[in-house]
Amino acid sequence: MEQDMQLKKQIDTMHLVYPTWGRHPMWLELRKELPELTEKQVRRIMHKYALYPIWPGPDTSKPHPGNAKFPYLLKQKAILFPNQVWCTDITYIKLPGGTVYLMAIMDICSRKILKWRLFNTMEACYCANLLEETIREYGEPAIFNTDQGAQFTSNDFIRVLQNHSIAISMDGRARCLDNIFIERFWRTVKYEDVYIHRYETVKGLKAGLKAFISYYNKKRPHQGLGDMTPDASYQCFLYSMQNVKTAA
């Protein structure tokens, strides 16, 4: 067990420098210091502790066979205003002390990150609580889209959506592009912040993400929004809709 933990720490440390390495390049590098180490041992440790490379990462979208599934509602659907469709996903971030999970809820029309949170584990109740907080602050979307991960098909998560009469949309299996907007956000936040700063602690990561997501929402122009920021786009649409309602 002690040898396993030591090898885990070494792989964790190397992944901070080479986050795309799988078991084979990891083994080739490690055996320079540990000539008796086998590739099978490296594979076992990486699988046991979910020490996966960036692409693909740990399976944060693994479905639970007993949970309910819902159809995908966004195919060829025009998304024209904020709070029409929200989406969410979970990604992982490696730290020297282990792995943490980042969940974010995005308004698809404006690309605004409405709420986000770091978790040590991917418990469904934590995801449901974040969803409830987001609804309390921003109101109810017409449609909420997720993948078929166990957290999002859980009774806790589905109950929140149904209690607010929100239509539930789920990506098809092995169709990551259905949720492409938040997938692009993961790439942005990792390559423009996490991999550059190489955070050492959860506290440092949380502070860094808070600053970056504020920058992303308020200052980072988005080509898909006509070079507007997500915040400006969200507020502009809401203002326009309020004026239409007032005129009516």
Q: What is the pLDDT of residues 66-81, one digit of tens each?
A: 567 899 999 888 999 9
pTM for the structure as a whole: 0.72
Beta strand spans in the chain (E) = 85-95, 98-107, 112-119, 143-146, 167-170
Q: Please, what is the average pLDDT of the chain? A: 85
| Percent of the chain whose predicted confidence (pLDDT) is above 70 | 84
Q: Which residues pair with 169 in a beta bridge?
A: 145
248 band by pLDDT with thresholds 50, 70 and 90: very low
Task: Give the Cα separation of 150 and 65 in Å (integer).
Answer: 9
pLDDT of residue 105: 98
Q: At what angle do helices 202-218 and 180-189 cross, to 10 degrees?
A: 120
Task: Give the Cα separation of 223 and 216 in Å (integer).
Answer: 13
What tens digit of pLDDT does each residue of 199-223 get? 999 999 999 999 999 999 999 988 8
Q: 84 near 140, Cβ under 8 Å?
A: no
Task: Give the Cα separation of 113 and 213 in Å (integer).
Answer: 7
pLDDT of residue 56: 44
Measured in whole angstroms, the distance separating CA 229 from the mean position of its chain's CA atoms is: 20
Task: Give the Cα separation of 168 and 34 in Å (integer).
Answer: 51
What tens digit of pLDDT does each residue of 10-55 get? 887 787 677 667 888 889 889 988 999 999 999 998 887 777 675 5
What tens digit of pLDDT does each residue of 161-173 get? 999 999 999 986 5
